[in-house]
């Protein structure tokens, strides 16, 4: 049981770190040209794809409610 709790803590820390990176990447819209914007947007999309399934479920529950 303790190992599982530790894993959850590690996942939570990783997700918080990942969310901070995603927030930093949201500046893609201010890139100087379309090629740079595309590259920055793809970087942000790759970061979002790395989210854990548990964290995504939690975000969906917060946004859409627990009836999903």
CA–CA distance, 67 with 14 (Å, rounded to integer): 27
Count H helices, E strands: the chain? 3, 0
pLDDT score recorded for residue 61: 85
CA–CA distance, 63 with 48 (Å, rounded to integer): 16
Report how many domains make up the chain.
1
Band of residue 68 on the pLDDT scale cut at 50, 70, 90: low
Q: Is the pLDDT of residue 3 over 60?
A: no
Structure-block tokens of residue 43: 């970087």
Band of residue 13 on the pLDDT scale cut at 50, 70, 90: low
- Picking from 21, 9, 26, 12, the residue whose alpha carbon sits closest to that of residue 59 is 12
CA–CA distance, 14 with 53 (Å, rounded to integer): 13
pLDDT in tens, 33-59: 999 999 999 999 999 898 888 888 888
């Amino acid at each position: 049981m303790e190992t599982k709790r530790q894993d959850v803590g590690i996942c939570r820390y990783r997700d918080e770190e990942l969310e901070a990176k995603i927030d930093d990447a949201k500046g893609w819209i201010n890139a100087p040209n379309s090629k740079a914007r595309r590259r920055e947007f793809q970087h942000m999309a790759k970061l979002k794809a790395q989210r854990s399934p548990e964290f995504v479920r939690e975000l969906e529950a917060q946004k859409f409610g627990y009836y999903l």
